[in-house]
Structure 1
Amino acid sequence: MITMNVHRISLIAVLAALAVVGRFAFQFIPNFQPVSAIIIITGFMLGPVSAIFIAIVSTYLSNLILGMGLWTIWQIIAWSIIGLISGLLGKVSLPKPIIWLTIYSVFAGYLYGFLISVGTFSYAGEFLPYYLAGLIFDTNHAVGNGIFTVLLFPILQRLFKQYLSNSSIKHTNI
């Protein structure tokens, strides 16, 4: 069981704020933003619960700025599933985790687009045309995820290792 102490909650809040600022800063490039990479790296290093908290908080706060709608629920669901999977990946001992996380983050860009399409096609019409029309945006997301994972992994890994070594709780990856 994971304990949410003030230190962990503060870390999650800072990472969610970083995701919101990153999403806002890159809003002019469709689907190119660091949110997925932050969620993936956090899930891998700290576990799925932390990643899901970041998914919920960053989606809600960034959509207050960028626009709230029915898609917000599906974004939270999609990013939470991505965080859950990355948390499960964190339980496996991976050689050179940056390579595996980068591959997963590219895949997650397409998974995110598929999940959003599943959630929104019901009011947008047919699924297949809706999904195919969004593939270019999913590709932007996948490329962005790969770039942000390569850039952010060394920084966040150092931050998380310092957090885990200074924390009074052991790393449980939950």
Structure 2
Amino acid sequence: MRSGIAVGGVAALVSNFFLGQGVWTPWQMLAWGACGAAGAAAAPLLRRRVVLAAFCFVLGMGFSSFMDVWNWLAFYDQHTWQTFVAVQARGLPFDLAHAIGNVVIAFVAGPELRRLLERYGRRLKAEVVWA
């Protein structure tokens, strides 16, 4: 699970070197790390493409909703239920686009990506043998 958090957090940081760093970067690192932890925890259940795609959809919506909450906290003076619902509703088309993009990637490259991450996980494990 720690490697899932690390991969998620580092991926957000590295991608923002190309896409632009900002005050949102730590929040993205936190959300991507949470997605990585959730993926690591659910890894045994994600062997089939349909299950993986559904899981990716849920994580995509969760990530985007989390970032909408950050947007609401950072840029709105009034923290009321009305502004919260308005921010969530305003972001819904983008959130759905992210989640659907995750589903497409899961169907196209899911098993290969899973194998790559499993290989990465195996390479992270180190065994110390005391002589």
**Could you state the TM-score of these two structures normalised by the residue count of structure 1?**
0.59
Residues of 2 paired with 1:105 and 1:118: CA distance? 20
Q: Quick check: 1:124–1:130 contact (8 Å CA) kept in 2?
A: no
Q: Kindly, what percent of the aligned residue pairs are identical?
A: 27
Structure 2, unmatched stretches of 5+, are 77-82
Larger radius of gyration: 2
Q: Quick check: 2:72–2:84 contact (8 Å CA) kept in 1?
A: yes
Show the counterpart of 1:51: 4
Aligned residues: 121
User: Structure 2 vs 1, CA of residues 105 and 115 (structure 1 numbering), >3 Å: closer, same or farther?
Assistant: same
Show the counterpart of 1:45: none
User: Equivalent residues in 2 for 1:29-108 (5 A)?
Assistant: 48-90=1-43, 93-94=44-45, 96-108=47-59
Q: 2:112 aligned with 1:155, yes or no?
A: yes
Letter in 1 for 2:73: S
Show the counterpart of 1:127: 84
Residues of 1 paired with 2:107 and 2:96: CA distance? 17
Show the counterpart of 1:136: 93
1:89-120 superposed Cα distances (whole Å, 9 cap, x missing partner): 12xx5385322111010111110111111222
Residues of 2 paired with 1:145 and 1:151: CA distance? 10
RMSD: 2.6
- The 4+ residue runs of structure 1 with deviation greater than 4 A are 160-170
Residues of 1 paired with 2:123 and 2:108: CA distance? 24
Residues of 1 paired with 2:120 and 2:18: CA distance? 30
Give 1:160 shift: 5.0
Residues of 1 paired with 2:36 and 2:55: CA distance? 11
Q: Pick one of 102, 113, 117 that aligns with 1:145.
A: 102
Q: Which moved more, 1:132-141 or 1:118-127?
A: 118-127
Q: Quick check: 2:69–2:84 contact (8 Å CA) kept in 1?
A: yes
**Could you state the TM-score of these two structures normalised by the residue count of structure 2?**
0.76
Structure with the higher helix share, 1 or 2: 2
Q: Which moved more, 1:132-141 or 1:49-58?
A: 49-58
Task: Give the secondary structure class of the aligned counterpart of 2:45.
Answer: coil
Q: Pick one of 55, 62, 69 that aligns with 1:111.
A: 62
